[in-house]
């Protein structure tokens, strides 16, 4: 949820829908918990900073594509397929990064 909000710039409504229909307040609480943990745990802060740096380019590419589509259309809704594609991209990158850190 935290990475989707901060890196992907997804709204809390979209994030909640992705996480099995979670409520806006649940998403906000989850994001706030991670922010608090970042402040108290330097190791977590370093990990999230590293993930953010490594994931930023692919996510920015997708956001650029979405913005271009938005320019051609008066309203743009994120389709389930697009949300799924972006989530899979982020999940694959995070898993890959975490597996290289544990090896």
DSSP string, 29-59: HHHHHHHHHHHH-HHHHHHHHHHHHHHHHHH
Task: List the chain residues with pLDDT less than 70.
Answer: 57-78, 101-103
In this prediction, residue 86 carries a pLDDT of 76
Helix (H) or strand (E) holding 86: helix 80-102
Half-sphere exposure of 56 (CA within 13 A, CB side): 8
In this prediction, residue 39 carries a pLDDT of 94
Burial code (b: 16+ CB inside 10 Å, e: under 16) for 29-40 equals: ebbeebeeebee
In this prediction, residue 85 carries a pLDDT of 78
In this prediction, residue 7 carries a pLDDT of 80
In this prediction, residue 38 carries a pLDDT of 92
């Amino acid at each position: 949820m935290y990475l989707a909000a901060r890196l992907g710039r997804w709204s809390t409504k979209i994030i909640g829908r992705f996480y099995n229909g979670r409520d806006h307040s649940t998403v906000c609480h989850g994001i706030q918990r991670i922010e608090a943990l970042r402040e108290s745990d330097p190791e977590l802060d370093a990990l999230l900073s590293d993930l953010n740096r490594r994931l930023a380019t692919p996510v920015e590419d997708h956001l650029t594509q979405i913005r271009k589509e938005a320019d051609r259309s008066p309203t743009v809704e994120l389709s389930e397929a697009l949300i799924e594609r972006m989530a899979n991209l982020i999940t694959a990158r995070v898993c890959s990064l975490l597996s290289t850190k544990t090896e």
